[in-house]
């Protein structure tokens, strides 16, 4: 059994928050991830409550902070990295994100076209009489 690696150039290819080769997080990594998540959450609440931002700017800020929050969770808590050992995890995550994107985009597209394809209410009421 080899001793855990110390912080050196040998750990530069490991996932942030993991300081040994086993892929499990360290207390330091979890605390950094928790603090970063906490700051991103506070930032999202501050952006949503800010009166100096336009509604579109607030939405963009919250969206960017949400994506950053997702990346922090993937890296520090789920230990997803670009190492060769994580190739199947990255592939599974990519396919899942693609399916979610198709479902969300398809649902939004269908809902946006419902209004143009529906019969006006007054005509529908006359047909029911």
pLDDT digits 0-9 by tens, 103-112 = 999 999 998 8
The answer to whether residues 94 and 73 belong to one domain is: no
Number of separate domains in the chain: 2
The 10s digit of each residue's pLDDT in 42-74 is: 999 999 999 999 999 999 999 999 999 999 998
Phi-psi region of 23 (alpha: psi -120 to 50; beta: other; left: phi over 0): left
The answer to whether residues 77 and 91 belong to one domain is: no
pTM as predicted: 0.62
Please tell me the distance from the alpha carbon of residue 41 to that of residue 4, in angstroms, as a whole number: 33
Structure tokens at 73: 């969770």
DSSP SS3 for 8: coil
The answer to whether residues 51 and 90 belong to one domain is: no
Domain that holds residue 29: 1-81
**Residue 29 near residue 23 (C-beta atoms within 8 A):** no
Please tell me the distance from the alpha carbon of residue 100 to that of residue 89, in angstroms, as a whole number: 16
The answer to whether residues 129 and 107 belong to one domain is: yes
The answer to whether residues 42 and 90 belong to one domain is: no
Whether pLDDT at 4 is above 80: no
| The length of the chain, given as a count of residues | 129
Mean pLDDT of the chain: 83
Burial class (CB in 10 A: 0-12, 13-18, 19+), 46: middle
Please tell me the distance from the alpha carbon of residue 46 to that of residue 119, in angstroms, as a whole number: 43
Please tell me the distance from the alpha carbon of residue 80 to that of residue 96, in angstroms, as a whole number: 14
**Residue 5 near residue 11 (C-beta atoms within 8 A):** yes
Confidence of residue 15 (pLDDT cuts 50, 70, 90): low
């Amino acid at each position: 059994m080899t001793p855990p690696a110390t912080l050196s150039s040998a750990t530069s290819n490991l996932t942030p928050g993991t300081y040994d080769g086993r892929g499990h997080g360290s207390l330091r990594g979890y605390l950094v991830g928790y603090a970063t998540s906490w700051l991103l959450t506070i930032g999202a609440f501050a952006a949503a409550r800010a009166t100096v931002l336009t509604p579109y700017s607030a939405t963009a800020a919250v969206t960017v902070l949400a994506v950053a929050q997702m990346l922090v969770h993937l890296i520090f808590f789920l230990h997803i990295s670009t190492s060769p050992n994580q190739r199947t995890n990255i592939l599974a995550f990519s396919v899942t994100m693609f399916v979610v994107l198709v479902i969300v985009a398809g649902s939004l597209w269908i809902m946006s076209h419902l209004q143009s394809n529906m019969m006006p209410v007054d005509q529908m009421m006359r047909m029911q009489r």
